[in-house]
Amino acid sequence: MTDRVRAALTLSAFLGMTLPCMAVQKILLVAWPGMAERFPRAYHRRLAKILGVKVSIKGHVPEKGPALIVANHVSWLDIVILSTAAKLSFVAKREVGQWPLFGSLARLQRSVFIERDRRHATGVGRDEMKTRLANGDVLVLFAEGTSSDGNGVLPFKSAYFGAADLEGVAIHPCTIAYSGHRNLPMNRRMRPFYAWYGDMELPVHLWEAVSNGPIEVDLIFHEPRRMSGPKARKEIARDCETDVRRGLATALHRRRDLR
């Protein structure tokens, strides 16, 4: 089977499963909210298999909230990868909610939409996150504020860490490492086929990602942290960045050492 044929079949399977699941999730959000929280996990686990993404999870996964997962951001695939690990929702840029198909999926997973480019709107998004955390949710914040090439970690932005300044909320640093390709170490040449950043167009990148075969991704949950006070917000952001950066370096080097 050629790569193009496999890609076409994969995308057909993706749409064939996704469209009915979207209808189911719409009903669940109204009729059975508890199941609506759990259903996306089952959907993404099946989707990961369809897309050929093998996820290896290390560390303690926050199965219950309130919890804020802060992770590096590499690709649209991060949504699928993280969603296989726990029932959770994402913090996303407001424009994501307007994207065809993917915007609908984000809304159905109860994403919190924020204005990253407007400082005066930071408080609104932070308050919405705080409300969701107070209600016991698990939220994912991509703390770099954008996606990277997957070879390193960009500086973490601390503004939205303030949402976790609540009693009982744990902050879980999480490393996403795109480490393997077809059971071999993923090298720098191959990683851009899966890392989605800069001005890459989503449809083209989606086709390339599913054309290039199965991948292995490490999802590493580090020791949780807690926060109190405005000074701690910046300190915790730096500490979480350090954890994630070290986790990425370790995962990529370990994969190369296994050759």
Residue 62 has pLDDT above 60, yes or no: yes
The answer for residues whose C-beta is within 8 angstroms of residue 165's C-beta and 6 or more apart is: 130, 227, 228, 229, 232, 233
- Helix, strand or coil for residue 75? coil
- Helix, strand or coil for residue 55? strand
The answer for residues whose C-beta is within 8 angstroms of residue 118's C-beta and 6 or more apart is: none
Residue whose C-alpha is closest to residue 76's, from 214, 211, 172, 201: 201
Model pLDDT, residue 227: 87
Q: 107-143, pLDDT tens digit by residue?
A: 999 999 998 777 777 899 999 999 999 999 999 999 9
Mean pLDDT of 150-171: 95
Is residue 97 packed enough to be buried (19+ CB in 10 Å), middle (13-18) or exposed (0-12)? middle
Distance (Å, whole) CA 66 – CA 167: 9
Residue whose C-alpha is closest to residue 105's, from 23, 206, 11, 7: 23
Domains of the chain in sequence order? 3-257 (3.40.1130)
Instruction: Kindly indicate the confidence band of residue 257, based on its pLDDT and cuts at 50, 70 and 90.
Output: low
What whole-number percentage of the chain has pLDDT above 90?
Answer: 85
Distances (CA, A) of 128 to 20, 114, 135: 30, 9, 11
Could you tell me if 178 and 150 are in contact, meaning their C-beta atoms sit under 8 angstroms apart? Answer: yes
Could you tell me if 160 and 125 are in contact, meaning their C-beta atoms sit under 8 angstroms apart? Answer: yes
Q: Which residues pair with 57 in a beta bridge?
A: 219
Instruction: Kindly indicate the confidence band of residue 2, based on its pLDDT and cuts at 50, 70 and 90.
Output: confident
Burial 161-181 (b: 16+ CB within 10 A, else e): bbbbbbeebbbbbbbbbbbbb
Could you tell me if 175 and 251 are in contact, meaning their C-beta atoms sit under 8 angstroms apart? Answer: yes
Joined tokens for residue 202: 């989503």
Q: 186-227, pLDDT tens digit by residue?
A: 998 899 999 999 989 999 999 989 998 899 999 999 999 998
Could you tell me if 70 and 240 are in contact, meaning their C-beta atoms sit under 8 angstroms apart? Answer: yes
DSSP letter, residue 111: P
